[in-house]
Amino acid sequence: MATIDYTDRRRMRLDVEFHFAAAHRLPRYQGPCLRMHGHNYRFFVGLEGEVDPATGMIADFGEIKQVVNEKVLARADHQALNDFLENPTAENIARWLWETLAPHLAGLAEVRLFEIPDSCVTYRGPGAAP
């Protein structure tokens, strides 16, 4: 059996993956995305911090999921993103995710949003964990 040094408080990172389906149109884009269409979005919330020696965790996965469900998914899943974002590009959605979650998730380091399976935007907002 391996021995774990519970006093080792080096920084670690955890990522939690989420999904939602939503429609949007890009009012400032001259092309097919000017028309209403939908995506199955996938995004990761990345937190960084020191491992708490008492719990052995940076953060509780369940608490992260609860915050994201309440603050993001309840508002965005199966919705028209233009109803609350004027220009819902992937970049602006990622920034909205950050601004929505940062007050509720200590150690938030980045949000990575996939609008299509092979392309993503990564946002590290003000106050991001170093």
100 φ, ψ to 5°?
-75, -40
What the block records as the tokens of 69 is 């469900």
Residue type, 31: G
Which residue is catalytic, options 24, 48, 110, 115? 115
DSSP class of residue 38 equals E
Catalytic residue from among 24, 33, 37, 91: 33
> What is the number of helices (H) and of strands (E) in the chain?
3, 5
Is 78 a catalytic site residue?
Answer: yes
Is 50 considered catalytic here?
Answer: no
Structural contact between residues 54 and 26, judged by C-beta atoms closer than 8 angstroms: no
Cα–Cα distance measured from residue 88 to residue 8, given in angstroms and rounded to the nearest whole number:
42
Of 117, 75, 66, which is closest to residue 93 (Cα–Cα)?
Answer: 75
Instruction: Identify the active-site residue in 17, 37, 70, 78.
Output: 78
The residues carrying an active-site annotation are 33, 78, 115
